[in-house]
Amino acid sequence: MNRRRFISFMISFLLIISFLTAPVMAQEETVHLTILGTTDVHGNIYNWSYEDQKEDNVGFAMIYSVVKAVRQENPNTILLDNGDTTQGTILTDDLYNTELVNELHPIMDVMNFMGYDAMTLGNHEFNFGTDFIDKLVKEADFPILGANIYYKSDGKNFVKPYTVKEIAGIKVGILGFATPNIPRWDGPKVTHLQFEAMHTAAQKYIKELKEKEGVDLIVVSCHAGLEGEYDAGGGDSVRKLIETNPEIDVALIGHDHKSVTDTVGNTIVGGAVNAGKEVVRFDLYLRKNGDGWQVVDKAVQLIDVSQYEPSEEIREYAKKYHDNTLEFIDEVIGYAATDFLPKQEVKDIPEAQIRDTALIDLINNVQLKYSGADISAAALFQNKTDLKAGPITYANLFDIYKYPNTLKVVEVTGKELKDYMEWSARYYNTFKPGDVTISFDPNIRGYLYDMFQGVEYKIDISKPVGERIVDLKFKGEPVKPDDKFKLALNDYRLSVLVGTGVFPEKTEIYDSAPKSLRSMIADYIREKGTIEPEVDNNWEIIGVEYHPLRDYIISEYNKGTLKLPDPEDGRTYNTKSLNAYELIEKGAIPEEVLKQYGIVTEQPVEKPVEKPAETPIEQPVEQPVQKPVEQPKDTVYVVKPGDVLWKIARKFNTTWQRLAEYNKLKNPHLIFPGQKILIPAK
């Protein structure tokens, strides 16, 4: 027995022991029910990364090993999926969702084999249109759910709102909910659908499940996060859903790619990270209560699939789909003459988001070429994206352009263009004195930051959000508010801009659908054969004035000596700048380094108290009256824009620490233009 199988055996053994030691109840009166939940599997079947061409602890091959072990332990097991399942890999996005869309979908085929009991629609199921979802519904041997999605024309459900599963005599009502924010992202594809607040839809169907179906247990599968995203009224929040409907016993959640085991009121809540790396396990004990059943104990936990061996059954069953994908991505479609990204100066900070690079220019140039637009906008979807010199395959394209977006062109005014650019530039944290790196707003995902081609501009990150785009020019001329341009951008971004009010409703001049942007990039590379990196440096970040310790701090950070806290959500990165003043204050910079850079923390020198020598008493002698000696006066310095305390100190041959103490500055790193600083007299 190898290590993984031993660990798998021990986990199952310990779980059995824990249940055997639960409160003893009469065997004939109690039932142990287990619910397993997967979420955000994102097209992963094999335990394999097509982009990295290596094995990984992901996908249904890993999940099925968990499922089989739990089913063997407890036959009373229900298996649910929580959506974002049919999108996310080359296998799905570039083959079976597009090129081979008329064939049986591999995800549905594998889920049928695994014996899923229900699936809830996620937002990414809508990326490929509702005809695609109709096809999935027909192919699935299990119900696909979405209780809060209706046709606008007649108010009928788009898919089933719920299903009832009877197991060991217990009737389990399973409701599915999709995040109601889908029109923000896939607006044009869902114009015929209405998405209702989850808590509102739940009230109607829970009543129906109780009164019409007579269920004993209410389970919700919600492709949404516990706290929600955009809806101030809580329509996209699972917490609001539960608080409004306390009858819910179990809530499987997702969308956020977060590990969650929680309790809200009397409801146990579980969510897993993406790609099938975790399985949510709910265990419930029910006691017979008259004609129904009552929950007497329940718990939620997460199972790490890496503790299991991949299922050879799934690998063999899905081999044809895997082999087709490997053959597809191995095709060389062209060559990169040299690297398309410069060497990363600071680890964890992508160069492509802090300066113009050939990689983003490649995407924008493709968009301009095929659309005929004046201006183009594109994002870096993944912070680890790169394009090295050498052969280019579809795996490289998937890395460059992760999502199956299509290309749109709309007409915008100069004002709308600048509003869009300001919306994008809010991604940067405001630069503050002492910063030695540029950082990103933790509340904004990297894929929401666009860079523009066809215009020249600067981003002044010392200015507040909304006032950062300066020197905006088109063909050398300043952009005026009433100018008109043809703007190329992807379908997702257009939906977001219209949905958030940055743009009004727009009439599309051009739409590449069904052809994806990734396919257009592939066509461009095939046509060129070999692509050379081209960068025109049409934009730059300004408003930064780095501290003299920058080189030292970056060197130490890259070595791992200095660290920054990890982002809380695990999906954002580089959310806090390295700051010289903060590091000095923490004592993270050695004294010898500070002295080397002329930054000395002065310590008062205590002179020994000398005992006065005894002198003979003399008679007082009348002295002439002297005028008092005039003491040197302090200098008043008025802070100018761009000033920082250490610069002012250097100008007057003193230290910033002394100035801070003398002026009683609560925060020496925050001084403002017009502020008066007293320079102590010498």
At residue 670, the pLDDT reads 60
The phi, psi pair for 118, rounded to 5°, reads -170, 160
CB-hemisphere CA count at 13 Å for 29?
11
Q: How far apart are CA 639 and CA 673, in angstroms?
A: 5
Asked whether residue 7 carries a pLDDT value surpassing 80, the answer given is no
CB 360 within 8 A of CB 300: no
> What is the longest distance spanned by two Cα atoms in the chain?
119
CATH of span 332-579: 3.90.780.10
Q: β-strand 250-253 against 217-223: which pairing, if any?
A: parallel
Asked whether residue 387 carries a pLDDT value surpassing 50, the answer given is yes
Higher pLDDT, 257 or 623: 257
Asked whether residue 196 carries a pLDDT value surpassing 70, the answer given is yes
- What tokens does 38 get? 């997967």
Domain with CATH 3.60.21.10 in the chain: 3-326
Mean pLDDT to the nearest integer, 215-224: 97
CATH of span 3-326: 3.60.21.10
Asked whether residue 605 carries a pLDDT value surpassing 50, the answer given is no
Asked whether residue 247 carries a pLDDT value surpassing 90, the answer given is yes
Asked whether residue 10 carries a pLDDT value surpassing 60, the answer given is no
Give the tens place of pLDDT for each residue, 535-560: 999 999 999 999 999 999 999 999 99
pLDDT band, residue 289 (cuts 50/70/90): confident
pLDDT band, residue 9 (cuts 50/70/90): low
How many CB atoms lie under 10 A from the CB of residue 25?
Answer: 15
At residue 622, the pLDDT reads 52
- Each residue of 419-430: b (16+ CB within 10 Å) or e? bbbbbbbbbbbb
Model's pTM, two decimal places?
0.69
CB 130 within 8 A of CB 189: yes
| DSSP 8-state class, residue 431 | P
Asked whether residue 276 carries a pLDDT value surpassing 50, the answer given is yes
Asked whether residue 352 carries a pLDDT value surpassing 90, the answer given is yes
CA distances for 292 relative to 30, 286, 288, 677, angstroms: 12, 10, 6, 77
At residue 22, the pLDDT reads 46
At residue 21, the pLDDT reads 47
Domain with CATH 3.90.780.10 in the chain: 332-579
Mean pLDDT of the chain: 89
At residue 290, the pLDDT reads 84
At residue 232, the pLDDT reads 86
| DSSP 8-state class, residue 159 | S
Give the tens place of pLDDT for each residue, 81-121: 999 999 989 899 889 998 899 999 999 999 999 999 999 99
Q: How far apart are CA 54 and CA 472, in angstroms?
A: 45
Strand ordering across the sheet containing 332-336: 390-393, 332-336, 530-531
At residue 636, the pLDDT reads 82
Q: How far apart are CA 627 and CA 623, in angstroms?
A: 12
Domain with CATH 3.10.350.10 in the chain: 631-682
At residue 646, the pLDDT reads 73
Mean pLDDT to the nearest integer, 473-491: 97
The SS3 assignment for 421 reads helix
Give the tens place of pLDDT for each residue, 111-170: 999 999 999 999 999 999 999 999 999 999 999 999 999 999 999 999 999 999 999 999
- What tokens does 562 get? 């200095």
Domain 631-682: CATH architecture, name and number where available? Roll (3.10)
Alpha helices in 290-331 (DSSP H): 312-317, 319-330
